[in-house]
């Protein structure tokens, strides 16, 4: 199938926009996971989670899916977040 220059330019632009949106989502996801392993980062996790929801909504709209909530990134109690990290530190120290 042959594309006109205008159609090809639109397709390339859409692919680049999708790639940028995916990179944004993955960057925010990595930041959220990093913050989850540090004590006292509940506010940062909530803010990053809200941005992740927006990035996920952009991805869904770009690929033509109806808007659905990806996840609710509400901060967990500190004991639940930090318990695995503390156990890991105790095991390494013992």
Task: Give the start-to-end residue ranges of the domains of the chain.
Answer: 5-93
CA 84, 35, 72, 64 dihedral sign is negative
Cα 91 from chain centroid (whole Å): 30
pLDDT score, position 75: 47
At 24 the pLDDT is: 93
- What does the pLDDT look like over 39-93, one tens digit per residue? 888 888 889 988 998 898 888 888 887 666 555 545 455 555 555 556 666 777 6
């Amino acid at each position: 199938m042959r594309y006109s220059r205008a159609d090809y330019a639109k397709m390339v632009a859409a692919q680049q926009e999708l790639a940028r949106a995916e990179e944004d989502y993955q960057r925010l996801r990595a930041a959220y996971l990093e913050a989850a392993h540090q004590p006292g980062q509940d506010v940062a996790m909530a803010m990053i989670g809200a941005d992740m929801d927006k990035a996920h909504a952009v991805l869904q709209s770009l690929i033509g899916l109806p808007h659905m909530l990806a996840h609710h990134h509400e901060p967990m109690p500190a004991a639940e977040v930090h318990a695995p990290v503390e156990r890991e530190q105790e095991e390494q120290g013992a």
